[in-house]
Amino acid sequence: MDVLYFAWVRERIGIPRESVDSQAATVAELVAELSAREERYALAFSDVSALRVALDQELSDFDAPLVGVREVAFFPPMTGG
């Protein structure tokens, strides 16, 4: 699946997107896998309450299943203005 990173998440990880081969069943499991990779991922995902996730461009939750998902995007909450 493609994993996209936006705003400060992208800055901490250092790349805007990557293709990930994962056995994770949920978004939370994917976050755990990514966090275990390197310190930069652990830093980016250290506080998931400060993050939002979209699965195939639909806002979702961290307990959402990944079955059939082709794209996961992580980004900070958006503010209006």
Contact 57, 74 (CB under 8 A): no
Give residue 16's pLDDT: 98
Q: Per-residue confidence at 72, pLDDT binned at 50, 70, 90?
A: very high
State the pairing for strand pair 71-75/2-5.
Answer: parallel
In the three-class reduction of DSSP (H, G, I as helix; E, B as strand; rest coil), residue 42 is classed as helix
In tens, the pLDDT along 9-67 reads 999 999 999 999 999 999 999 999 999 999 999 999 999 999 999 999 999 999 999 99
The reported pTM is 0.93
Please state, as a whole number, how many other Cβ atoms lie within 10 Å of the Cβ of residue 53.
Answer: 19
Whose tokens are 């755990």? That residue is 32
Whose tokens are 């275990």? That residue is 36
Give residue 2's pLDDT: 98
